[in-house]
Amino acid sequence: MSASKKLFIKTYGCQMNVYDSERMAEALGGKGYVETRSPDDADMILLNTCHIREKAAEKVYSELGRYKDLKAEKPDLKIGVAGCVAQAEGEEIMRRQPLVDLVVGPQSYHRLPAMEDAVRGGAKALDTDFPEDDKFDTLKKRSKAKRGPTAFLTVQEGCDKFCAFCVVPYTRGSEVSRPADRVLREARELVEAGVKELTLLGQNVNAYHGHEQGLAGLIWELDRIDGLERIRFTTSHPNDMDDALIAAHGTCAKLMPYLHLPVQSGSDRILKAMNRKHTAESYIRLIEQIRAARPDLLLSGDFIVGFPGETEADFEDTMALVREVHYGQAYSFKYSTRPGTPAAEKPQLPDEVMNDRLQRLQALLREQQQASQASMVGREVKVLFEKQGREAGQLIGKSEYLHAVYADAPVELLGQVRSVRVVANSPNSLKGELYV
């Protein structure tokens, strides 16, 4: 098989899609594909899509439209759509956009090599099943080629929570955890290839049950891997934050002091309508427990404003929760309907109301984030240098708190963790000086 075929993958959305795109590229590598950064010289284009944000499907169709002329120039070019939009709208994509050759859901991409055979033979290929065979068992081992110092590692997929606003249970399926021995094997392969920091991924990663002691048990197993220096995990649900995982934040040196724990709203009435199954008070008490275990923890969260039925009083409850908790980082969005979800059938708030509330919330969150970064000035942090900066002699990396830090440092320190004193703060990064 010729190794000259080129694959272009465009990835939308979350870190799990980044991981999935890597595995898709590896799966097609066995068919002679090597990745390219440009769709113009590709033999196959894959769009790995996300269905979480507003108008996700329309953005995919818009992107596909850009390839119409390219497909006309290169009749042998194959175009595929993968990921959650593919799962939700597979047949519709094929009908609406004839230039698409294959559509594959997020649980079926291990079948890409066979699908590639089919489309090269002139057929269309559609696979949006939730197959019984485990895609991770089918996929070949990770490449031992040299890698960067950080990597994502999916350990859990799917969701059983059925929040009223979310499509994940319908596009990713029910909660499934990878067995710990297989996760550990892949982790060791990544470390052997040069990875120093692993971020464990899952739609509800702290619902992981592939180890008898849950996610905390897996973290302690990873802690024993020589050469692995840092562990992170995302995204978590408050109801799955157990005592063992809280304790690990205080006792596992490799587990970084950063936690993304979405709450979505500070109003109990809205939380109930969202089917979140926790209250604002229970969330606040949980944060107190976690911070008691790890006082320097930097907390991140997610917020939705303008959920159907949200009043000004409900929104003020959210603002009050943010003021009490204090976030070092957060993501906030206007509610947007997702067809097939319970909330999509409810009367929607006026767009101008949602815009106003979002601006007010983001102003408060931005103030807290800037205060968090400013508080780092003068402190020592540990930075894992990941890449060279724009200026000569400059390296960029992440602190244990996930702040971006740049410092003058020799290129030999790429991939290493070094102590840095923070000397200045800017909106999106920290300036540091190496300790000699």
Residue 389's domain is classified under what CATH number? 2.40.50.140
* Domains contained in the chain, number: 3
> Among 256, 276, 258, which Cα is nearest to 266's?
276
Asked whether residue 135 is domain-assigned, the answer is no
Q: How far is CA 284 from the centre of its chain?
A: 24
The answer to whether residues 250 and 331 belong to one domain is: yes
The neighbouring-strand residues paired with 102 are: 80, 125
Query: Per-residue DSSP letters for 126-193?
Result: EE----SS-HHHHSPPPP-S---SEEEEE-EE--S---TT--HHHHT-S-EE--HHHHHHHHHHHHHT
Chosen domain end from 64, 94, 127: 127
User: Would you give per-residue pLDDT tens digits along the chain (436 residues)?
Assistant: 445 799 999 998 778 888 889 989 988 988 899 999 999 999 999 999 887 666 777 888 899 999 999 999 999 999 999 988 888 888 889 999 999 999 998 888 888 999 999 999 999 999 887 765 566 666 666 566 678 999 999 999 889 999 999 888 888 888 999 999 999 999 999 999 999 999 999 999 999 999 999 999 999 999 999 999 999 999 999 999 999 999 999 999 999 999 999 999 999 999 999 999 999 999 999 999 999 999 999 999 999 999 999 999 999 999 999 999 999 999 999 998 887 899 988 999 999 999 999 999 999 999 999 999 999 999 999 999 999 998 999 999 999 999 999 999 999 999 999 999 999 999 889 999 998 7
> Residue 385: inside a domain, yes or no?
yes
Residue 253 carries which side chain, given as an amino acid letter? Answer: A
Helix (H, G, I), strand (E, B) or coil at 43: coil
**Apex 32 CA angle, 28 and 33, nearest 5:** 55
pTM: 0.84
In a shared domain, residues 369 and 385: no
| Residue 132 within any structural domain of the chain | no
192 and 324: one domain?
yes
| Same-domain status, 114 and 235 | no
* Residue 396, φ and ψ in degrees, nearest 5: -125, 140
Using the 3D structure, point to which of 374, 404, 421 is the last residue of a domain.
374
Domain edge (last residue) among 103, 127, 151 = 127
Claim to verify: residue 295 and residue 262 sit in the same structural domain: yes
In a domain, 133, yes or no: no
CATH code at position 63: 3.40.50.12160
For residue 1, the model assigns a pLDDT of: 42
Handedness of CA 10, 12, 14, 20 (dihedral sign): negative
Q: What are phi and psi of 154, to 5 degrees?
A: -70, 130
Q: How far apart are CA 125 and CA 366, in angstroms?
A: 45
In a domain? residue 134:
no
DSSP letters along 320-381, please?
HHHHHH--SEEEEEE----TTSGGGGSPPPPHHHHHHHHHHHHHHHHHHHHHHHHTTTT-EE
Which tokens in the block code for residue 150?
């950080």
Do both 344 and 209 map to the same domain?
yes
Same domain, 413 and 367: no
Give the separation between CA 302 and CA 22, rounded to whole angstroms: 26
Do 388 and 256 sit in the same domain of this protein? no
Q: Are 399 and 430 within 8 A, CB to CB?
A: yes
CATH number of the domain that residue 248 is part of:
3.80.30.20
Both 71 and 183 in a single domain?
no
Identify the domain containing residue 70 by its residue range. 5-127
DSSP secondary structure of 51-113: -SSTTHHHHHHHHHHHTHHHHHH-TT-EEEEEEHHHHHHHHHHHHH-TT--EEE-TT-GGGHH
User: Distance between CA 288 and CA 290 in Å, rounded?
Assistant: 6
Domain assignment of residue 19, yes or no:
yes
| Coil vs helix vs strand at 233 | strand
Closest to 228 (Cα-Cα) out of 281, 259, 189, 178: 189
**Distance, C-alpha 264 to centroid of its chain:** 17
Residue 148 in any domain: the answer is yes
Query: Residues 65, 198: one domain?
Result: no
pLDDT for residue 17: 86
> Is the residue at 419 inside a domain?
yes
On whether both 119 and 168 belong to a single domain, the answer is no
Q: Give the model's pLDDT for residue 138.
A: 64
Residues 247 and 216 in one domain: yes
